[in-house]
Amino acid sequence: MPLTLYACLLWLSTSGLWTIQAEDTHANVSMRSQHRGLAPANVDFAFSLYKHLMASAPGENIFISPVSISMALSMVSLGTCGHTRTQLLQGLGFNLTETSEAEIHQSFRHLHHLLRESATSLEMTMGNALFHDRSLELLETFSADIKRYYDSEALTTDFQDWAGASRQINEYVKNKTQGKIVNLFSELDSPAILILINYIFYKGTWAQPFDPESTWEENFYVNETTVVKVPMMFQSSAINYLRDSELPCQVVQLDYVGNGTVFFILPEEGKMDMVITALSRDTIQRWSTSLTTGQVDLYVPKVSISGAYDLQSVLADMGIADVFSNQANFSGITQEAQLKLSKVVHKAVLQLDEKGVQAAASTGLTLNLTSEPLTIRFNKPFLILIFDHFTWSSLFLGKVVNPT
């Protein structure tokens, strides 16, 4: 089948993302290409978005879920036409000569399904919803498509009563995230006619837990002048570690139960920007193959990080501008009115804590080394990258500057 061959080529060209995990060796090629087909575009978009956000907010914590942003915007593209649509999909990193729109939406559907399935062993909630004003009659094809491919609802509300509408939206998100994401909108935000909501909550369970008894308050060096206290988790075990020879940083990789894997990156003092600039698929790939397992005394702050963003200006910087402008062509949503997207609100929350599966799993992992363990303390600004390694999705990218 030409499609299979094509997808296979696509897979080969992306196999460098990082080392294929052992459990995948028996999966067949069409399976692989199906669950990782979107990975190259999505991961490139992820790092690009991450860098743009960092540039727009230097010195601040950043926390986003790129895969859910890609998914949400791709969903919006279903309602767009003409140049608006092409620009949006290309802005997300898709080459429309190589990948048809139908394939993109099918692949997102499959990805959403896999991520949900993958999430049953951990706490993860992700979803999309579209709120629109009562006065706006949506085309049936649009409502059907967003439901079909993105499992998203289109909900009506009365945006004339913004206080009521924002309360309704906040309630909806709170409900969908089991109370973990609250107050997405305030009454002070400006009202709209169409709002796209995208939410994600993730709580991983470490494959090798930290011992809560060993969590102590320690200093975290925010910058030359500011030191804050954080609860610092500790574990001493066999850990994948790398002191990078090309970039001024150390890297630690920890796995969650299931498909989640986390890269903690500790840049040398003053070298944060240099490391961020170098982040790419190739860098992740290089790290994955260079990490080695050794006995490590690891200190990581126990934190809850959240980020809330209106992505409009960042996306515009990245070339996705039409949707927000008067040139927006949303005739896939309605032909009655001239629409434009007023906000793309994204909020992500991550809790890092000690919890993991019980020690049984880790007995075989303690190395018998005669040398002293290495000590790594994440007690100054660091980066955190969380991937789903089954689908190669960037679940979260974060920069922790000040954990308090």
Ligand X SMILES: *[C@@H]1O[C@H](CO)[C@@H](O)[C@H](O)[C@H]1NC(C)=O
Q: What is the number of other CB atoms lying within 10 angstroms of the CB of residue 74?
A: 24
Nearest-approach distance from CB 97 to ligand X, in angstroms: 4
Q: Which of residues 296-315 bind ligand X (CB under 6 A)?
A: none
The structure tokens listed for 223 are: 């910058």
**What is the C-alpha separation between 143 and 340, in angstroms, rounded?**
17
Question: Which of residues 182 and 243 has its CB atom nearest to ligand X in the complex?
Answer: 182
Q: Which stretch binds ligand X (CB under 6 A): 101-109, 156-164, 219-227, 313-321?
A: 219-227
Q: Which of residues 59-88 bind ligand X (CB under 6 A)?
A: 59, 81-82
Taking alpha carbons only, the member of 287, 285, 265, 286 closest to residue 276 is: 265
Question: Which of residues 221 and 290 has its CB atom nearest to ligand X in the complex?
Answer: 221
141 binds ligand X (CB under 6 A): no
Nearest-approach distance from CB 254 to ligand X, in angstroms: 15
Nearest-approach distance from CB 329 to ligand X, in angstroms: 4
- Total residues belonging to the chain: 404
Among 56, 100, 226, 293, binds ligand X (CB under 6 A): 226
Nearest-approach distance from CB 212 to ligand X, in angstroms: 24
Q: Which H or E run includes 70?
A: helix 66-77
Beta strands, E only, 110-248: 123-133, 153-157, 194-203, 216-221, 227-243
Among 152, 177, 237, 259, binds ligand X (CB under 6 A): 259
390 binds ligand X (CB under 6 A): yes
Among 237, 240, 288, 331, binds ligand X (CB under 6 A): 331
**What is the C-alpha separation between 196 and 1, in angstroms, rounded?**
38
Nearest-approach distance from CB 33 to ligand X, in angstroms: 10
Among 15, 19, 58, 117, binds ligand X (CB under 6 A): 117
- Category of 25 on φ-ψ map: left (φ > 0), alpha (ψ -120 to 50) or beta: alpha
179 binds ligand X (CB under 6 A): no
Nearest-approach distance from CB 40 to ligand X, in angstroms: 11
Q: Which amino acid is at 119?
A: A
**Residue span 2-41 as binding mask against ligand X, x where in contact by CB under 6 A, dash where not:** --------------------------x-xx----------
Taking alpha carbons only, the member of 83, 132, 96 closest to residue 327 is: 83
Find the Cα–Cα–Cα–Cα dihedral 69, 71, 73, 76, rounded to 10°.
-140
Residue 223 phi/psi, 5° resolution?
-160, -170
Nearest-approach distance from CB 402 to ligand X, in angstroms: 5
Q: Residue 47 to residues 127, 255, 297, 299: CA-CA distances in angstroms?
A: 21, 21, 29, 26
Residue 213 phi/psi, 5° resolution?
-65, -20
Q: Which of residues 95-114 bind ligand X (CB under 6 A)?
A: 95, 97-98, 114
Q: Which stretch binds ligand X (CB under 6 A): 13-21, 157-165, 194-202, 223-231?
A: 223-231
Q: Which H or E run includes 181?
A: none
**Contact set with ligand X (CB under 6 A):** 28, 30-31, 59, 81-82, 95, 97-98, 114, 117-118, 121, 171-172, 175, 222-226, 258-259, 329, 331, 368, 390, 402
